[in-house]
Amino acid sequence: MNGVIDLGNTFGKLALFEGLELSDFAKGKVKTLIKTLNKVNPAKIMICSVTKSVEELEVLFAEFPSKMILTKESLIPISNDYGTPHTLGYDRIASAVGAFYKFPNKNSLILDLGTAIKYDFIDNEGHFKGGIISPGMKMRFKALHTFTKKLPLIEKEGIPDLIGNSTKTCIQSGVINGIAAELNGIIARYKAKGDLKIILSGGDAEFFESQINYPTFAAPNLALEGLNRILIHNVENNNFTK
């Protein structure tokens, strides 16, 4: 059994894999995930974080000797063509690996709708090319409130009408319909380059899924699946030494 962990600032995700099959999933604070790891005692562990250093992760998971922390030096089963690979978030490369195995020999566009909206493209030969980063939904609501004197802080309440008839509904339309227009516009420009699979992930993916005018594939655990593939790849290439 493999244990795969993707850590954020406060919360993280833990997935357990029997080979390639995801057998269990948990989400919570780091201490909670560590307790779960102690209970299930996976044979090998892969750890990924875009917020904590390798040194911090080594301390947090010191009690687990059979682990691997994803770094820039880790072997990955795809080609990373990013212009500045040292700045590329590990979650983005993990999702790209997940997409490559989910749709082999296909161009894939990953739409990760979370704090930021990330569009990542991997071609049919397994080359990660990069993509786009733009503000996510909560960030846009907060920005309108923070950088103006009178606009209130608003939250989503379903898909709004295009024409708002109050300040609240105008903001909701601007943010939500604006993101929907952005998503469809960006997808159209990518599709103009050739056929591709569109993969949705991230916390806001389900909210916007109905607003996308193209066939999509929901993959809420794409990064975790990619991390498991990276772990397997390193084991097979004798790069997992613990």
Q: Are residues 21 and 139 in the same domain?
A: no
Residue numbers of the domain that contains 39: 1-69
Is residue 195 within 8 A of residue 214, CB to CB? The reply is: no
Task: Show the low-confidence residues of the chain (pLDDT under 70).
Answer: 9-10, 241-242
Domain C-terminal end among 69, 104, 126:
69
Distance (Å, whole) CA 72 – CA 54: 11
Residue with tokens 């975790």: 224
| Domain count of the fold of the chain | 2
pTM reported for the whole predicted model: 0.90
We report the CATH number of the domain holding residue 105 as: 3.30.420.40
Distance (Å, whole) CA 141 – CA 109: 26
SS3 for 242? coil
* pLDDT at residue 19, as a whole number: 92
Q: Tell me whether residue 223 is exposed, middle or buried, using C-beta atoms within 10 angstroms of its C-beta: 0 to 12, 13 to 18, 19 or more.
A: buried
Domain C-terminal end among 69, 97, 127:
69
Specify whether 91 is catalytic. yes
Q: Are residues 149 and 238 in the same domain?
A: yes
Catalytic residue among 24, 81, 91, 123: 91
pLDDT digits (tens, 9 = 90+) for 77-135: 999 999 999 889 999 999 999 999 999 999 999 999 999 999 999 999 999 999 999 99
Domain C-terminal end among 45, 69, 93:
69
Q: Are residues 102 and 160 in the same domain?
A: yes
Tokens of 207: 């909210």
* pLDDT at residue 8, as a whole number: 76
Is residue 230 within 8 A of residue 97, CB to CB? The reply is: yes
Residue with tokens 């947090």: 60
Q: Are residues 104 and 204 in the same domain?
A: yes
Q: Are residues 149 and 227 in the same domain?
A: yes
pLDDT digits (tens, 9 = 90+) for 36-46: 998 988 999 99
Is residue 16 within 8 A of residue 2, CB to CB? The reply is: yes
